[in-house]
Each structure stands twice: as structure tokens, then as C-alpha cells.
Structure 1
Amino acid sequence: MEKINQLKAGAILSYISMGLGYIISIVYTPIMLRLLGQSEYGLYNLVASIVAYLGVLNFGFGSAYMRYYSRYKIKSDKEKIATLNGMFLIIFTIIGVVAVVAGIILAMNIEIIFGAQLTVSELVKAKVLMMIMVVNLAISFPTIVFTSHITANEKFIFQKIVNMISVVINPFIVLPVLFLGYGSIGLVVASTILNIVIGIINVCYCIKKLQMRFSIRNMDFTLMKEMTVFSSFIFIYMIIDQINWNIDKFILGRFKGTEEVAIYSVGAQFNSYLISIAAVVSGVFIPRVNKIVSEELKSKKLTDLFIRIGKIQFVLVALVVMGFTIFGESFINIWAGETYSKSYAVAMILMIPMGLVLIQNIGIEIRKAQDLHQTPAKFMLCIAIINIIITIPMAKEYGAIGSAIGTSIAVVINQIFINFYYFLVCGLDIKLFLKQILIFSKGLIIPIIVGCLMISNKGKFNDITFLSMVIPYIIIYFISLYYFSFEKYEKDLFIGQPYNKISNIVNRYVKK
């Protein structure tokens, strides 16, 4: 019962935390943009994108820890668990030291890394930022053992509450530092201090509450080899993510300067919102995917699930993409300022192809459950390299918009391959999926017409007045989909169940 409560509460707190994160980001980011200025904000993102590459040094061992911890916990082998804890603490501590050494080498060669586009003062500040960020990263590595231990023990309530507190407190720590004029250096120092405090809380909880113990005797090197093989493909996916979503900033910083990095970063932020919204939907269905994979006659069931979840994600993804197409430019002008007007084009170029990927997001979990993720990982790594080759000339010529185009081309090429892979190897009926999505999309006709009319008459309104039409547009969107696209499952999911619950409450109240 406690396990079920932890899962339910953890899921609810995840949604609350994500919602708070969005709200705080929307309120906090424009203040930060104006206090830092476009150039320094770009410099901050540029350095962060380089340090993020050091994050792959964890090699995906966090996932490996939970897998092997669960294996030993079932057997109640406390000695093995203690040895596992000790082994991972040593591994991540060594990785942290390696990260510091690598960071020092990068900082000492900052001029070579960023080229001639940065000024002398920017290079000096970049060096300081990199050193602080590397220290922050190095500290975070050993704490992975403790956060993984909390997750493996399914203590989701504690974990999510700590994460939520961190999200809420962060701007209250950072903003005073920015108002005092300490700029990006003050920002990363404040974030590092918060990271240390959160790390200490997790350590204390594991040792005192969960009775976490460590042993460095009888180190199992056979297990180490097995974990390395298990983590290798996770490591490849981590590299791919870093290349696809951080290389653009580095290329822009190298060839165009910090202002273009800032413009790209603002646009990419909206794309990250879209990705996280879709990830929540697919994440809920992971246990069901694994259950179906273990059954016979699984292909039809997997295709049915693939289509059903695809439709749900289509509803959310299409709303975000279409809504941003109509209202995004006005929102960015108010939110970030007119100096970031090109960020609208960057966001659109990234979001449209990404939207097509996200409606098939559950496919990632399907191929993982079938242990068919190795070939896509290798192909995606090749595409990530092609992304770099395409993006460099595009960034040189067209700046932030060119970088976004290069990344989007790579995303489209990758998704074409993945669809063939789903069809030929994973047993998913992609033709049926595409047919169902095409039929389902007829409900978008009215929202598209309304959206075109809004855009064509936009000049009659100022930005604030235009944004007041967002709520009416969302209502039109859902009414159109309800009558022209939704079947019983979607109606119950989006409208029916909440309506029935409200009706039951009202009826009970009336009867009283």
C-alpha cells in the first residue's frame, strides 16, 4: 500500500513540480535576461553548453545502479548492496575528479575553444564561469549514488518535494545576487551553493532514514564489466542528446558571438518545454509497454497502444505548436524583448519537426523493452555527426536561425529511419499509425482557419491584447477536436472523466 501511495503521490508531485517549473521559468527568465543583458546571457549559455559535455562522464551508470540494486534487494543481500554502494561512490568520485581536471584543461584553453568572436573581457569571464560550473558538476557526480538510492527505494514523495523546493527557491537565491550586480558569475555561485545544500540533504536522508551503508571490500570486477556493457548504449544516447541540443550554441559562439547564442537559447527553451510535455505522457505508459512485450501476439497490441498514445500526444503537441505559431511572436516580444524577435523563428524551426517526433515518443520505450535500441543508437550517433557538418556552414551564414535549420534537418532524417525501423524490426504498423493520425487531424481544420484569421488581423491589436485571445483559441481547439476527432477513449480522457466526477460531486451535494 505504501508503495502505491508513493507512486501516486510521486506522479502528482511530478506534475506539480513541472507546472511550477514552467511558471517560475516564465516569470524568472525575462528578469534574468534584462539583468544580464543579451551578450552576458549568451556567454552564460555558451559556457554551460561546453560544461554539459562533461556531464556524459557518468556513462549512464545511474541507470545501471538502479538495475543491480533491485536485483540484490529482491535477494535481501545487504552485503552486496553495501559493496554496490561503495563501488559506485568510488566510481563517481573518480569521475568528479576527472571532470575537474578536464574543466581546468578547457578553462586554460578557453581562447582556442571559443575562437576570436569573444572579447577579452568575455574570455576572462568565461574562464571563471567554466571553473565554477565544473566544480558544481564535479560535486553532483558523487551525489548521483544517493539520488539513485532514493529512487531505487521508491521514496518518491521525499525526492519530488526536495526537487520542488529546489525549483521554487532557486530564483529567490539568484535574483538578489543579480540585482546586486554580480552578473552571471554570481548566478552560477548561487546555483552551486544550492546544489551543495540539496546534495547534503539527500546524503543525510539516505544514511539516517534509509540506513544506506558502504563497503569497499570484495569489489566485484565482473559486475563492473557487466555494468559497463549495459551502460554503453545509454552513454551513446547521452552523447547524441548533448550533440543535438548543445552543439548549436558552441558553433554559434565560435563563429557568430554571444548575442546569437542568446537568441538561439531563448528559442530552444520553448522547444524544451514541448519535449518535456510529451515526455510526461509517454512516461506514464512505460510499465504497460513492458507488460505487452512479455505477452504473445504482442505486435497488434503494441501498435494499438502506439496509436492510442500517439493520438493523446498529438492533441497536446499540436496545441502547443499551433498556439506558439499564432501567439509566440507576441509572447516573445513581451517576455524577452524585441531584441529576441529572431528567437521566434528559431523556436518554430525546432518545434515543428520535433512535434512529428514527439507523437511517436512511446516508440522509444517499445524498442527499449524489446531490447532493440542498439541499432537506432548507432544510426542516431551518425546523424548527430551529420548535424554538426550541416550546422557549421548554416550557422556561419544565417546565425541562430541557420543552426536551428541544421538541427531540424538532422531530426527529420533520423525520424524517417526510425519509422522504417519501427515497421521492419519492431513490428509496429506505421502505415496504420500515419493513416489514423491523418484521420484524427481533421479536427484541426477549424483551429487552423481561426489561427490564420487571427494572424492576418494581428496588426489591428497590440501584443498584450493579441495574447488575450489565447484562452478563446484553446476552447475552440478542444471543441473542434471533440466533435471532429475524438473517439470515446479521448472524450473520456479529456472531457468525460472530469465531467463525470464533477457531476457525481454535484449530485451527492444536491441529495444532501
Structure 2
Amino acid sequence: MVREVNQLKIGSLLSYLQMILGAVVSLAFTPVMLRLLGRGEYGLYSTVTSAISMLSLLDLGFSSGYIRFYAQYREKGDQNGIARLNGFFLLLFSGLGLVALGCGLFLTSHAELVFSRGLTAEEYATARGLLRILSVNLSCMFPMRVFGNIISAKERFIFLRAVHLGRTVLSPLVMLPLLLMGYRSAAMVWVTLLFSLGTDLLFAWYVLRVLGEKFVFRGFERGAVRSLLLYTSFIAVNLIADQVNWNVDKVLLGRFRGTGEVAVYAVGYTLFQYYMMLSTSVSSVFTPRIHRIIRQTETDTAARRQALTELFTRVGRVQLLLLGLAATGVAFFGRAFILRWWAGPEYGGAYPVALILMLSATVDLIQNTGIEMQRAQNLHGFRSLVYGAMAVGNLVLSVFLCRRYGALGAVAGTAASMLLANGLAMNLYYHRRCGVDVLHFWRSVGRLCRGMMIPVFCGGALGWLVRDAGLGAYLGAIAVYTAIYGASMWHFGMDAYEKELFAGPVRRLRARKPIQ
């Protein structure tokens, strides 16, 4: 139990360290990359990566299915069943990798499906080269995915997060000198491929040599296969919806408005990605715990509802503490940051893109533990249907709006569909079917939000005062705002658990005696 708690705590800390260092490296790397590539090639690169990312939906929810079945076999102590499960999933993901390679090479040969206008012959050649390399990368990632799933299922979060941390920091540091040497976007995708292969091989070594996992490639029960397909079918719909919602805007902009507009959207989306990471780096370590709660409370509905509601609320409040600081900070200081200190004046449209995405996704991001709660109870079908409808609505709205309003129109379609799906439909479902007291959750969140009133007022004033100031005054205003936010949330928003969560490590560090 102690080791499990340490894995969760240290894994969470490493996740945040990865996020912080990744943000710092990216914030330093992105403006250099934008200037070396130019708006057109950066937009080309972003469109290609979005198109290839959509092929990752071929996972079809099998990664989540692996964790669910692994937990069942481990609960029974069935090591032979785990070995057969490992072998089956390695074969399954290998087949999916071949399908992904075929789809990627098809896109490579028909790049006009992604870019319908405005590209020169040289740009088409660049696009095909990027598509080819990224297709190979994706096809290799699929069979190796099972090793990361095993590490996650066994809750070895320290190793998992440490490897991702190293990759996050080292990858841009390798890309930068290659860009300076003139290798442009091709160098970036080659580095992506090499680091992906290195990470996957390291995971494979850890699983085979350190964890000693076995792989048996026959004997997996047909009944289990049917159960797996039934379980993952709705997850697959959800994954398709997610890929549409998060990648279709850039693909549509590339097709209807050109790569320059994609570049503006991509800069705003880059900031939004770090916003999402604030949330998911907390919730991702709770997946095994959620499945364990469900298994241990199969005969006690009241205990299950209490445990799920407590976890849902506690994690959501901590996520909102962090997201609230990030979203309000971007609202008050983000425009000057993007225009004056980071991307440059030609990317001014990225500010509303980032802010609209952040605000519209906040409800979903403070409730994302609920996704795994649905899956653990096999109740994820409704969410998949809702998100499928959301994806269709988003696609229709975005096609119309992006043609007329560019990046701002595309993000407006995404925001409207997210608010309807997450703000209304999913909250009703969590409350009525998933064993979560959503009314209790929102009452608790409302009490937390009281602490945001003073920071919002002060942040607006500070942002106005430093809108044309120098870098020193600008950074000073951000530091003052962060202090005001922390003090206000401490006194008017946070509960005893959250105060201990933040103050406990500091107090323990101070209590340590110096080495004599």
C-alpha cells in the first residue's frame, strides 16, 4: 500500500514536472521555430500532424480495454490469463499498426485530400515527405503501445512519467540545432520518430526484463474477445469524436483557408494543450484506483456512490484550482504575451482561439475522472453517443464558420458543441446513472469559486496597467497576480484537504533537520 501511494504521489509530481518543464521548453522553442519555419511551413507542419493524429483513432479503445481486463485477471491471480492477454494485445496492436501504415501511405499519395488549395509543388513535396515519416512513426507506435499499457496497469507511474519527462525535455533540444542548421520541418518529424522508437524500446525492456511479464500468443478465450469488442465499441466512437473535435479544425482550415490560418490556430491550440495537461496529469494516475473502487463496491451501491463522489469532487476541485489560475492569467495577460513576447504580431488571432478553447473545455477538464468511472462500470455508451453527436455538430458548424471567419469561426463551432455536450448532457448522466452526486460536486465547486472574485478584479486592473509596459513590469504583474490568486483561494476557497495537499510537503521539508 505504501509503495502504491508513493507511485501515485511521485507519479503525479513527475507529471507536473514534465508539464512545467515541457511548457518552459516549448515557450522558449516555439518562437524560434516560428521564425525559422515561417508561418506557411509551420501551418503545413501543423496540418500534417493533425491529419496523421486522426489515424490514431484506430486504437478503437483497446488501450482502455487492456487495463480493464488486466485488472480482472490480476484480481483473480491468473498469471496465465495475463500472459495470454499480453500476447493477444501485442498481435492486435501489430495488426492495427499495419492498417495505420496503409492509411498513412494512402494520404501520402493523395495529399490533395488534406490540402485543396494554395500549395506550390515544393510545398506538396514537403507535405508528402512529412506524411510518409509520420505514417511510419504511427505504425511503429501501435504494436509498442501494449508495453506502456502494461506499465500503467501495474501502476509503475514513476518510471512511466520519468521516461516521458526525459522525452519532453530532450526532443525540442535536439530539434533546435537541426532547425538552425536549415533542416526545417523534416528534421522535426525525424526527431519525433527517433524519440518515439527510443521510448517504446525502453518501455519494452522495462516490461520484459524488470517486470518479467510473459507473452503467450494463443489460447485467449473467444468469450473474452467478444466482451472486449463490446466494451471498446463505444470507446471507439468516443475516440473518433475526440479526434474530430480536436483535429478537424486545423484540417478544415488547411483545406479552406490555407496554411497561414492553420498556423494562427495552432499557436492558440498550443497554449490550450498545456491547459489540458494541467487537468489530465492529475486525473490520469487515478485510473487503476477507480477500477478498484468499482470492483470492491459491487454489492454496496451507497458506498460506491460515496466513494466515487468524493473522488470526483476532490480531484475536480484541485484541477479547478490550477485551471482557474491558468485561464484567468491568459485572459488578463495572454494577448500581450502572444503579440509582444512570444509568437509575434501576425499571430494575434491566436489569443481568442486559446481563450475560447480554455473556457469552453473547463467543465470537461474538471470532470474527466468521470470518463474512467463510466468505463469501469461499462456505462460509457451514452458518452460515446453524445460525443458522436457533438463531433457531427462541430464538423457541420466548423465547415460553415471557418470558411467565413477563419480560425475564430472554427473554434466557435468547437466551443459551442463542447458546452452543450459537457455542460448539460454529461452532467445529467453522471448524476443519474454513474453513481456521482453532481449537485454535491457543483456546490463544492461553487464554494471554491468564491476565492476567484478578488483575483478576477485585480487581474483585470493589472492587465490594463501593463498592457504596453516592458518585460520586467509585465512579469512582475504576473507574479503579483499569482500571489493574489493563491492568497485569495487559500482564505476564501480551499478546504482543509487542499491546504494540506499544498502546505504539507512544504512543512515536511522545513521539518527536516540539516545533515551535521
Q: Does 1:477 align with 2:482?
A: no
For 1:219-298, list aligned pairs within 5 A: 220-283=221-284, 285=286, 294=297, 295-298=300-303
In structure 2, the partner of 1:426 is: 434
For 1:40-55, list aligned pairs within 5 A: 40-55=41-56
Q: Does 1:454 align with 2:459?
A: no
Q: Is there any run of 5+ residues in structure 1 with no aligned partner, and where?
A: none
CA distance in 1, matches of 2:315, 2:11: 22
Deviations 1:208-239 (A, max 9, x none): 44444444344544332222222222222211
In structure 2, the partner of 1:322 is: 328
For 1:312-391, list aligned pairs within 5 A: 312-333=318-339, 334-391=341-398
Contact 2:466 2:473 in 1 (8 A): no
Contact 1:255 1:396 in 2 (8 A): yes
Cα distance, 1:253 vs. partner?
A: 0.3
Give the AA of the match of 1:357.
D
Q: Does 1:119 align with 2:120?
A: yes
Q: Does 1:486 align with 2:494?
A: yes
CA distance in 2, matches of 1:488, 1:51: 45
Contact 2:157 2:285 in 1 (8 A): no
CA distance in 2, matches of 1:77, 1:491: 42
Give the AA of the match of 2:302.
L
CA distance in 2, matches of 1:493, 1:84: 38
Cα distance, 1:125 vs. partner?
A: 1.2
Cα distance, 1:75 vs. partner?
A: 5.3
In structure 1, the partner of 2:413 is: 406
Residue 86 to residue 398, structure 1, CA distance change in 2 (3 Å):
same
In structure 1, the partner of 2:148 is: 147
Contact 1:252 1:400 in 2 (8 A): yes
Deviations 1:397-424 (A, max 9, x none): 1111111111000111112111222333
Cα distance, 1:387 vs. partner?
A: 0.3
Contact 2:257 2:403 in 1 (8 A): yes
Q: Does 1:207 align with 2:208?
A: yes
Give the AA of the match of 2:245.
N
CA distance in 2, matches of 1:146, 1:194: 16
Give the AA of the match of 2:465.
N
Cα distance, 1:255 vs. partner?
A: 0.4
Residue 373 to residue 241, structure 1, CA distance change in 2 (3 Å):
same
Contact 2:114 2:254 in 1 (8 A): no
Greater mean alpha carbon deviation, residues 408-417 or residues 192-201: 192-201
CA distance in 2, matches of 1:6, 1:435: 31
Contact 1:279 1:361 in 2 (8 A): yes
CA distance in 1, matches of 2:169, 2:355: 29
CA distance in 1, matches of 2:213, 2:291: 30
Cα distance, 1:36 vs. partner?
A: 1.2
Cα distance, 1:286 vs. partner?
A: 5.0
Greater mean alpha carbon deviation, residues 347-356 or residues 418-427: 418-427
Deviations 1:374-397 (A, max 9, x none): 112111111111000001111111
Greater mean alpha carbon deviation, residues 136-145 or residues 271-280: 271-280
Q: Does 1:197 align with 2:198?
A: yes
Equivalent residue in structure 2 for 1:310, among 304, 312, 316: 316
CA distance in 1, matches of 2:48, 2:435: 43
Cα distance, 1:290 vs. partner?
A: 5.2
Cα distance, 1:322 vs. partner?
A: 0.7
Q: Is there any run of 5+ residues in structure 2 with no aligned partner, and where?
A: none
Deviations 1:491-510 (A, max 9, x none): 33344x356435644xx67x
Greater mean alpha carbon deviation, residues 270-279 or residues 379-388: 270-279
Q: Secondary structure at the match of 2:406?
A: helix
Q: Tell me the TM-score normalized by structure 1.
A: 0.90
Q: Tell me the TM-score normalized by structure 2.
A: 0.90
Deviations 1:37-57 (A, max 9, x none): 111111111011111111111
In structure 1, the partner of 2:92 is: 91
Contact 1:331 1:463 in 2 (8 A): no
- Percentage identity across aligned positions? 36
- Alignment length, in residue pairs? 508
CA distance in 1, matches of 2:311, 2:41: 46
Q: Does 1:393 align with 2:400?
A: yes
CA distance in 2, matches of 1:285, 1:76: 22
Contact 1:85 1:145 in 2 (8 A): yes
Deviations 1:355-385 (A, max 9, x none): 2332333333443444322112111111111
CA distance in 1, matches of 2:217, 2:158: 30
CA distance in 2, matches of 1:154, 1:301: 20
Give the AA of the match of 2:276.
I
Give the AA of the match of 1:268.
Y
Greater mean alpha carbon deviation, residues 61-70 or residues 402-411: 61-70
Give the AA of the match of 2:457.
I
Q: Secondary structure at the match of 2:388?
A: helix
Cα distance, 1:328 vs. partner?
A: 0.8
Deviations 1:296-324 (A, max 9, x none): 42445544554444333322221111111
CA RMSD of aligned residues (A): 2.7
Contact 1:117 1:253 in 2 (8 A): no
CA distance in 2, matches of 1:441, 1:187: 41
In structure 2, the partner of 1:158 is: 159
CA distance in 1, matches of 2:143, 2:289: 33
Residue 324 to residue 14, structure 1, CA distance change in 2 (3 Å):
same
Cα distance, 1:71 vs. partner?
A: 4.0
Residue 82 to residue 404, structure 1, CA distance change in 2 (3 Å):
same
Give the AA of the match of 1:329.
R
